[in-house]
Amino acid sequence: MNNKFQYDKSGSPLGARGNTFPIAEKFSMTDKVQYAEGSVVSKIIIRNERGNVTLFAFDKGEFLSEHTAPFDAIVQVLDGKGEVVIDGKVFELNVGESIIMPANVRHAVVAVEQFKMLLTMIK
């Protein structure tokens, strides 16, 4: 096959860096990551030298502990309700809402109820 796409053994195109997300075809973000009891599930959609795009599914009460990142990142809520804490300030986010987490500022994510989010970090 002589084009810009990579393919798996079945001949289906692979996403960036060989992940299993489809390229050049539509898909549903919320269908690509499932809730797991007592867990946070993450799936990388794209990872390359320019940044990362990752899907997350949080069970109610689960969280990502406070940390910093060297680049700005945006959280987009796809399902449910969560809280993003940035530099000690709590922001409640619902479906369709987003927030930018600035680089080098402490932040955390908490699931108020089950929720799914898309995290995009650009370097």
> Residue ranges of the domains in the chain?
33-122
Residue-wise pLDDT for 100-115, tens only, equals 999 999 999 999 999 9
Topology (CATH) of 33-122: Jelly Rolls (2.60.120)
Q: Look up residue 74 and give its two tokens.
A: 């945006």
Q: What is the pLDDT of residue 10?
A: 52
Q: Look up residue 76 and give its two tokens.
A: 């987009």
Q: Is the pTM for the entire model greater than 0.85?
A: no
Q: What is the pLDDT of residue 31?
A: 94
Q: What is the mean pLDDT of the chain?
A: 87
The Cα 51–Cα 29 span in angstroms is: 18
